[in-house]
Structure 1
Amino acid sequence: MENTYQNTTSCCEDQDLYDISEHPMHSIAWLATVPLTLSIIIAVTIVGNAMVIAAYFRDKRIRNNVANLLILNLAITDFVVGAFIISIDTAWIIKDVWTYGEVFCKIWLDVDFVVTMMSLLTMVLISWDRYCLLTMGMRYKTFQTKKRICVILTISWTVVTLIYTFLAFGWSPITGEYNVDYSQNCEMEFTYNVAATLVINIFEFFIPFTILIILNIAVYSNIKRRSNGTVGQSPSIHASARSPKRSFGPGSPKRVNYHPPDGPSGPVAVSPRRGGDAVEANATSESTDNRADGENSLTRQLSNERDSTSKKEGRTFARHRKAAFVLAILIGCFLLCWLPYQVTSVMYAVCDTDCVSTRLWEVTNLLLWCNSTINPFIYAATNVHFRRNFRKFLLLDRWACDFKNCKLKCQNANQIQVATGSLNDSTVT
């Protein structure tokens, strides 16, 4: 009886030790920082992308731009990442064990891979749209339509969803590989296969990223060539502005010089012409003034046209440079967020948790999802229409108006006080 009690006690102690080792209790500092940080990331991701979506449907000027349909699609994918993907992952991190079962795990992973892949493809499409805008010129409006973009996005969503749904639900039955214990963990089965991980990473990251780099280099090169062309055309414009000073048209007045003939009459023959010379001199002076006024007017007209053309071209190229700068920021953030995950995923497939700790795997996944948190701030900082709507959503315009009104009221009060003081001083005097 005593031996039975000791065996039962030892079994319970072993079970307790197993539970503690498998599911360690988090410290108070960890509970105070990690869940709070994740909650802030979730809130910023949801609110930021929700404002992008609301701005698109609220502002007609944003909807009129065909390219903003791609931004809307990117905001939708990022919103799903914040509202569904990171939220479920946060609950998993806090519990330190997966408790939602196999079916929900596969659905969650399927949505995760689909929206993150669509986010990447949308960035590629944004770069392609910018390249078409620069190279097609006037043909862009007839080529890039909302119908074409909707068809492209529909095909992309369909293909990506089918691929990752097959990988989530069909990989194990086809290959016979069952490596995930869904009562404890939630991962795609193919993540334990090195060859499959490498192939998927190539199609999921390296090929799209290479296309992004090529398109943005082409955009920068096109902008640079067009900017140099604008600078090169300036001398011809200046030359055309100076040309009236060197040549005149058929209708321009000509200088008439009178040379009195030499004859036997000498000075006596010249004297009757003095009045005519004065009249002719006055007429010549008036024609010279008219010609000078005409030249000045033409010069001013050409100068104004040159200035307006230069300003228009300057605004155009500044807009293109700004768009290229936005794309560069998007690519930089994308590389920063995606590359660590790609490296650790290969390491995880090779040696599992022996070379990739659980915390490192969680951090790289979270960093990948944080790309969805950054995108709305890029739009707000670079697109004037989105920025204006964001200011209205956050009531910044109202606060600015209240501040200005308060400032004006203070200035008016000070002016009244000064005027009243001056009036009192004058009354006393």
Structure 2
Amino acid sequence: MLNDTNWTSDFYILTQEEAITVQSTLHPFIFFLMWLNVFLTTGGNLVTIIAFLRDKNIYSKPGNMLILNLAFADLKVGLVSLPWFNLWLHYGDWIFGEHLCKWWVIVDYAATIESMLAMLLISWDRLFMVENIQKYIRNQTRNRVVSVIIGSWLLCYAFCMFAVLLVEPITGERNIDYTVDCDFPPNFYLSVTIFEVIILFVIPVFALFYFNTKIFYIIRKRAKSVRPETLTAPMSHVVDPNQNKNSTSFANQNHQHQQESSSRHNEHADEESTNHQVTRRSLHKDRKAAITLTLLVVTFILCWAPYNFVIIMELVSVNSVPTAFASFTEYLLWLNSVINPFLYVATNPLFRKQLKKMFSCKYHD
């Protein structure tokens, strides 16, 4: 924590006086950033939820319910996880007691795990859509998506409540002094922690990599099948307007059937050109969606990897990780919830349009 003793030990290359000077100088700036993080996480995800609910074009699509679910999980991080952690760092010790600690840990872990599951579900949903759009439309209904979301939340809370409320009674050990500390009880057992890291980080990373690699492969394969020459060829059959006039005049005299044949040919060419344009627009939307998912996955790995490494290292070698760095990795994990809503702004034109309406007070279309 950021009390005097721990801070000094973390900056062990400094003298006692220098460490105190660094602490007094950085504390206001650090706590400003910490509460700014709370504001950005809560505000960003709340705006995301409101924007999606206000736009029928977004809300009506079942797959977008998964994005709403991700925003809701990240909102809980901003409302619960970060504020209480900031207060803990401010006081130096956990002064809020055992019951509040257990409630906080349950909600915090459930929200962060659900955030991870939401990204898995979003990637799976996009892969399902890209692989077989007709089957996706038939089977991926709003009720089914809502059922999956509710099931994932129940699973998260069941796991977290078991770990927090029953691990200590089952093992008969109390490793947490709730007058100064607050933690996830399974994190005190190396084998359980390694299993936890595999289930909650390693497997999701491989699953996200598989989903998004396959999405990119399918999109690239389709893009190659739509060759530039096939897209432009139909336009070469469009008849010049002057030629049309001459041809029509001539056909009115002697070759009426040629005019009809030419008209049918042009209609077919126009229809083929339109189909290719629709295909190109669809490919462009799929590429943008794939890029968004890739950014979500990369952000997830960068934010979660340090924390999972640290919780193992702390058990393998006691006091091997500086307290300040351990706190930083926890914050980095939660930073994932700050970044996600800004990815929607950068990559979703409908969301950007809805935001412009909201902030310009245009509440009606």
Read off the aligned partner of 2:82 and give its amino acid letter. Answer: I
Query: Where do residues 268-279 of structure 1 align in structure 2 (5 Å cutoff)?
Result: none
1:192 aligns with 2:188: yes
1:329 aligns with 2:325: no
Deviation, 1:238, is: 4.2
Contact 1:334 1:371 in 2 (8 A): yes
CA distance in 1, matches of 2:291, 2:203: 22
Contact 1:66 1:144 in 2 (8 A): yes
Which structure has the larger Rg over C-alpha atoms? 1
Contact 2:38 2:78 in 1 (8 A): yes
Q: Which residue of 2 aligns with 1:176?
A: 172
Q: Which residue of 2 aligns with 1:6?
A: none
Q: Which residue of 1 aligns with 2:242?
A: none
Query: Where do residues 301-380 of structure 1 align in structure 2 (5 Å cutoff)?
Result: 301-352=267-318, 354-380=319-345
- Which of 112, 115, 119 is the equivalent residue of 2:115? 119
Read off the aligned partner of 1:375 and give its amino acid letter. Answer: N
3-state DSSP of counterpart to 1:27: helix
1:54 aligns with 2:50: yes
- Which of 85, 99, 102 is the equivalent residue of 1:103? 99
CA distance in 2, matches of 1:239, 1:69: 40
3-state DSSP of counterpart to 2:227: helix
- Which of 378, 391, 397 is the equivalent residue of 2:356? 391
Deviation, 1:31, is: 2.3
Query: Where do residues 29-44 of structure 1 align in structure 2 (5 Å cutoff)?
Result: 29-44=25-40
Deviation, 1:304, is: 2.4
**In structure 2, do the counterparts of structure 1 residues 82 and 307 end up closer, same or farther at CA, with 3 Å as the change threshold?**
same
Aligned-residue identity in percent: 29
TM-score, normalised to structure 1's length? 0.73
**In structure 2, do the counterparts of structure 1 residues 295 and 368 end up closer, same or farther at CA, with 3 Å as the change threshold?**
same
Q: Which residue of 1 aligns with 2:74?
A: 78
Query: Where do residues 390-429 of structure 1 align in structure 2 (5 Å cutoff)?
Result: 390-395=355-360
**In structure 2, do the counterparts of structure 1 residues 160 and 284 end up closer, same or farther at CA, with 3 Å as the change threshold?**
closer
Q: Which residue of 2 aligns with 1:409?
A: none
- Which of 210, 230, 236 is the equivalent residue of 1:234? 230
Contact 2:235 2:269 in 1 (8 A): no
CA distance in 2, matches of 1:311, 1:285: 34
Deviation, 1:294, is: 5.9
CA distance in 1, matches of 2:107, 2:173: 22
Deviation, 1:23, is: 8.4
Q: Which residue of 2 aligns with 1:7?
A: none
Q: How many residues align?
A: 340
Deviation, 1:218, is: 1.2
Deviation, 1:286, is: 6.0
CA distance in 1, matches of 2:197, 2:343: 26
Q: Which residue of 1 aligns with 2:144?
A: 148
CA distance in 2, matches of 1:32, 1:22: 17
Contact 2:307 2:329 in 1 (8 A): yes
3-state DSSP of counterpart to 2:39: helix
3-state DSSP of counterpart to 1:54: helix
CA distance in 1, matches of 2:95, 2:357: 42
- The unaligned stretches of length 5 or more in structure 1 are 1-18, 245-282, 399-429
Contact 2:7 2:324 in 1 (8 A): no
Deviation, 1:350, is: 1.5
TM-score, normalised to structure 2's length? 0.85
1:169-206 C-alpha deviation (Å, 9 max, x unpaired): 11111112322211111112221211010001111111
Contact 1:337 1:367 in 2 (8 A): yes
